[in-house]
Structure 1
């Protein structure tokens, strides 16, 4: 095996590389780092002054898009607040469905002719939340029709409706299919009735299984579910049973996510008050992740990313990967976030304020905006490559005109010794331990580049 780099171009000017090293204990799955990065990895950005946001966004809308693009549509309603969720915004009632759909359709139409929205194909649309499937069937259909009419969808566009089983019956399923949805992402989290209901998931195991089978048997769209490991009171045996239950359903794909208990969520407060034991510790979550990857490999599922597997060619996982990549994203709906032309931006999270801005003021209700650095595309590319469980530093360096293999070589060689990756023919491939620590490794990679070849000014 040849080393990643023969020598460093920085000599003694290298930063304190020890702070980036993984622990070499012989058990990288549980011990590689003392803590994990709990948010999406990323680089630096500069806030745009509030008073300049409208004019800056107006200029962005006049620039045609290039490259891959997604659209994200946020539905802020939920019929209950799952204890672990930090995204809950507004309790749903049936009367809100039409009013929300009216405002969202107006927002879609308001910029339909702009170069930013109309100039190039959109490759993935994700209707997320919240709980989109809470909306009434006619309004789901109206929203999907408006998406088709106002966004230039690619012929093979992935159009996902996110949802949950509760209150998602045949009428709503068929409305989504008639509206062109070709992918459903259903947040199951666990099939265990007692565990589900302790987390305020409303449907029991039998209801979940019946509804998923119904959605699958339409045979008109990919059906994907999320499963979570690390809940309080969840054992390894329960986790294995969840995965085997999924595999027995013959669905198209699955995400296996670890529970992150964020401060301020109902679950965090309940744990602080002693109503629940803490969720699984980091080492236990690592072992549950490894067991999940083993069971998916044994059942011959195709690995699509660090956390995602597909069973059939129908599942492509386009949107999820694009959001880790240097792609453009057009946002719609209260609380949605997007990016274009070197800027991140977020819409008003307050539902009533968002509606007033769209319907009364006839403006895009932006509340924050950040300007990316010149290295944002590389940062996102590093993240997206590691998300696919591999990276080629030499090829990436040639693409961006930077000595990435030389700069990162010493660090990646140490990670190889620690058991986080292997290196062959220019490709660094993450081991199971590396896959578990992928977010941390991506963030450390970006940080290291800022300590070496990136400058603050760029």
Structure 2
């Protein structure tokens, strides 16, 4: 589950009046989300993978900075000299889903462009994201709460979603080429009644051409894990569960609004494990109020002791207007950790999990057994086409980004009128393929310069297509980052140091903007 990540565009999109101009978009699970919006009612929603996002929502300060492109200030790209890179390389983590951006398609052109996209089959890999807009409770740290779960609303949602799955049935973009990963995010998919979840999962299998080895993920909360719900998921093809545990510490969990204590939480996870039919991945968050280094290391120890298939470690994001931000401002809970403290927590997770021989799947994702592949999250970063379903779902078609209408009632009305509820469409920016490749590479802890040079040559990018042009353009920035301890040169490429991994969102977005700005100059 990618829960600091990934929703894809925020209300700032519409307010900025960006028609016809390239627009940075800031996942899910994220990215969230990281990171997300949809339709002409862009007040925030679900991104492929549930990654949570940026825009206007982050509290400025030491931890997360609302990101603004300020051209004309070349120094903004460079790290601080003479600082401990782990905690002080930048003023703060910029709040953006890196590499995502586009040019808004005018409303009068949207339907014709969407029709062309739908009639074009995907060339290789393909994903599907289903957004479930309900939660049982509103957790203190979350600013992405949409709707409280009600059984009748859940049943109505399931009916409409099943209908939406059929709207593009027979169309090349949905029918041709197999779907390699399906992700049910939200929201909390496990909040649904078992029969409604089962109906949705069965409809997905009937409507989408799932690959034989398709990764089929349901994200959710351990509090919902009953035998009835688990069996409804497993009987309908689910082979991966992503659980938002966040912390095993009962005191921290209660302060954040989580219902289960540590003992019951562990019992529910073991119940799911007892079926031995799916990969089980747990999300943990570091930097929570009241979370010391000792408590963070204890969270990691408990996670390791459970024999999970995978583990994701995310930095806390304090979002403007969230219950957590208000509680901190009112003094009801302690402040979140600052950047140096979070950097040390991140480094501790790397050290502990490497010592335990976990496989590094990406900066935040770790695998312990061969069951955990993390396909959806990796393919999302690579810009693979993704079919989006549900109110607020983000998707992508051949490089264009799609955003379903977020409002449940409006989404449902459009579906019942047999209209695909895409409210916003973004065409790709000129360097879209390069941006996606940079994002994918840095997400996996490296910067593969020969691969990027080859891509520029194949794409014929002006000013970047000849041998050595990309390297020469980026050398001043990459060399400075190396001096500051963020990158380690390896032949003609770079590996991210632990500090570079901690700041990889900054590195990704700043490198993309640096290339764009320097190429124009």
Fold shared, TM-score > 0.5 on shorter chain: yes
CA contact (8 A) 1:358 1:364 kept: yes
In 2: Cα distance, 1:26 partner to 1:331 partner: 43
With structure 2 as the length reference, what TM-score do the two structures score? 0.82
1:429 aligns with 2:501: no
TM-superposed CA distance for 1:63, in Å, is: 1.1
In 1: Cα distance, 2:345 partner to 2:238 partner: 33
Which of 95, 107, 112 lines up with 2:152 in the alignment?
A: 95
> Which residue in 2 is equivalent to 1:395?
451
CA contact (8 A) 1:70 1:124 kept: yes
In 2: Cα distance, 1:155 partner to 1:410 partner: 46
Which of 261, 265, 281 lines up with 1:224 in the alignment?
A: 281
In 1: Cα distance, 2:104 partner to 2:490 partner: 41
Which of 293, 296, 312 lines up with 1:239 in the alignment?
A: 296
1:90-114 C-alpha deviation (Å, 9 max, x unpaired): 0002222221111111000111211
Which of 471, 491, 505 lines up with 1:405 in the alignment?
A: 471
Which of 76, 81, 85 lines up with 1:28 in the alignment?
A: 85
Which of 74, 84, 88 lines up with 2:131 in the alignment?
A: 74
Give structure 2 stretches of 5+ with no counterpart.
Answer: 1-71, 458-463
> Which residue in 1 is equivalent to 2:325?
268
Q: 1:105 to 1:306 in 2, by over 3 A?
A: same
In 2: Cα distance, 1:365 partner to 1:164 partner: 28
Which of 225, 231, 235 lines up with 1:168 in the alignment?
A: 225
CA contact (8 A) 1:26 1:419 kept: no
1:416-454 C-alpha deviation (Å, 9 max, x unpaired): 111111112223100000000001000111011111225
CA contact (8 A) 2:448 2:493 kept: yes
TM-superposed CA distance for 1:75, in Å, is: 0.4
CA contact (8 A) 1:394 1:404 kept: no
In 2: Cα distance, 1:177 partner to 1:420 partner: 43
> Which residue in 2 is equivalent to 1:300?
357
1:210-241 C-alpha deviation (Å, 9 max, x unpaired): 11111112111100010001111111111010
Alignment of 1:378-389 (within 5 A): 378-389=434-445
In 2: Cα distance, 1:454 partner to 1:160 partner: 42
Which of 510, 513, 518 lines up with 1:444 in the alignment?
A: 510
User: SS at 1:452's partner residue?
Assistant: helix
In 2: Cα distance, 1:156 partner to 1:43 partner: 28
CA contact (8 A) 2:88 2:339 kept: no
CA contact (8 A) 1:339 1:345 kept: yes
Give the alignment's Cα RMSD to 1 decimal.
Answer: 1.5
CA contact (8 A) 1:25 1:31 kept: no
> Which residue in 1 is equivalent to 2:394?
337
User: SS at 1:166's partner residue?
Assistant: helix
> Which residue in 2 is equivalent to 1:183?
240
Q: Post-superposition, which runs of at least 4 consecutive aligned residues in structure 1 deviate over 6 A?
A: none
With structure 1 as the length reference, what TM-score do the two structures score? 0.93
Q: 1:214 to 1:231 in 2, by over 3 A?
A: same
Q: 1:430 to 1:218 in 2, by over 3 A?
A: same
CA contact (8 A) 1:43 1:446 kept: no
Give structure 1 stretches of 5+ with no counterpart.
Answer: 1-14
Per mean C-alpha deviation after superposition, the further-off stretch among 132-141 and 74-83 is 132-141
Give aligned pairs, total: 441
TM-superposed CA distance for 1:50, in Å, is: 2.2
> Which residue in 2 is equivalent to 1:414?
480
Rg larger in structure? 1
Q: Which has the higher contact order (CA 8 A, sep 6+)?
A: 1
